[in-house]
Amino acid sequence: MTNAPIPSTSSLASSPAPRLVPLPSPSERPAGRRAQQRADTRERLFHASLAEFQRVGVAAAQIDRIAKAARVVRGTFYFHFPTKDHVLLELQSRVEHLALARVASLATEGATLEDAFRRVCDGIVAAVALTGGGEVLREMLSLYVRKPQAPSDASEESAQLIDAMTRHAAAAQARGEVRADLSPEQIATMFLTSTFGFIANHEQDELADVLNTLVDVVMQGIRSRR
């Protein structure tokens, strides 16, 4: 996974949608020519798959068309992505990566839990804009329902995002900002689950306002009752 620059949400509306996470720079890419070729092929297949999903939907998407668009044979798709769901899992990983990057950039001192919540929402709004939102994103989110993951099976990005939010929640509890009867893990899981649920049920142009309202409501519910 690359640490690609994250565009500001204000610039997204006025510029063409770039790739969700560009290919790594030469210094970040795998060592060796063959490894780099595999990475390039995987990236082409990923974006060809998203284009096919956006055009006809995930269920109707055809692997042959994806392979042709990526300039590979059909079997190469299955080498990189055993199923179409694995493409959606890759998309999920990249969306979470952008959210995690926003949280990671937050100063460790002086940052509140609300700051962390809003950073996550900012990263998710940016990721949604880069994917074009719509049906592909809803299909990605449906994986949470169709194929719920055990904690041990969660992606590295999922685990890191939950861990980061849990640490922020624990710090907020230590400062007396949030209720002590909720565990930090409960707070983190509740917020992230609600956030991704809202994405599935709201259009892209209203998402930023909806998520800001969600943060307000969540904070009201978990603030310390002193």
Are 34 and 140 in the same domain? no
Per-residue pLDDT, averaged over 92-114, amounts to 81
Q: What is the mean pLDDT of the chain?
A: 80
Check whether 17 has a pLDDT greater than 50. Answer: no
Of 33, 52, 82, which residue is a domain's last?
A: 82
Are 36 and 90 in the same domain? no
Instruction: Name the residue type at position 112.
Output: T
Look up the domain containing 102 and give its range: 84-226
The pLDDT value recorded for residue 13 is 33
CATH number at residue 36: 1.10.10.60
Which tokens belong to 219? 């904070």
Of 46, 66, 82, which residue is a domain's last?
A: 82
Are 63 and 142 in the same domain? no
Are 157 and 103 in the same domain? yes
Are 89 and 77 in the same domain? no
Q: Is residue 74 part of a domain?
A: yes
Q: How many domains does the chain have?
A: 2
The pLDDT value recorded for residue 154 is 55
Per-residue pLDDT, averaged over 136-144, amounts to 78
Are 53 and 126 in the same domain? no
How far, CA to CA in Å, does 90 sit from each of 36, 140, 156, 182?
A: 18, 9, 11, 32
The pLDDT value recorded for residue 12 is 30
* Contacts (Cβ under 8 Å, ≥6 apart) of 184: 166, 167, 169, 170, 173
Q: Is residue 15 part of a domain?
A: no
CATH number at residue 95: 1.10.357.10
Of 82, 106, 130, which residue is a domain's last?
A: 82
* Contacts (Cβ under 8 Å, ≥6 apart) of 80: 41, 42, 45, 46
Are 91 and 162 in the same domain? yes
* 126 vs 202: CA distance, rounded Å: 15
Q: Is residue 184 part of a domain?
A: yes
Check whether 31 has a pLDDT greater than 60. Answer: yes
Q: Is residue 192 part of a domain?
A: yes
Are 222 and 125 in the same domain? yes
Are 101 and 152 in the same domain? yes
Q: Is residue 4 part of a domain?
A: no
